[in-house]
Amino acid sequence: MIETVIRKRIEILADVALVRRVTEAIDRAGITGWTVTPVQSGKGRDGHWREERVMGTDKVFVLTIAAQDKAMALAEDLAPILTSHGLLLTMWDVEVIRGERF
């Protein structure tokens, strides 16, 4: 049977302009990898939104998987800008194979 370990899956919804700031925080936390995926539209408490290339408010999801301690270090690093820059950070437990990679 394949053995799995528990890690944290972290998704951060951010404006494209903040990708570098977010990925640098991931690197500072000692997390070894991340993926950036474009987001076309959504709806939140302020209503519907769509990507807006003219205004420069395109959004992306930054996805990473990390051990608990590194995930918490990332969350603490980004905490000061979550509200001021409108970031959405979620994390939850996932089972991974080859846990030493995360």
Residue 1 has pLDDT above 90, yes or no: no
Span 32-86, pLDDT tens digits: 999 999 987 777 666 666 655 545 568 899 999 999 999 999 999 999 999 899 8
Span 3-27, pLDDT tens digits: 999 999 999 999 899 999 999 999 9
Rounded to an integer, what distance in angstroms lies between the CA atom of residue 48 and that of residue 35?
25
Q: Does domain 5-90 have CATH number 3.30.70.120?
A: yes
Helix (H, G, I), strand (E, B) or coil at 34: coil
Neighbouring-strand partners of residue 35? 63
- For the chain, the structural domain boundaries read 5-90
Neighbouring-strand partners of residue 47? 44
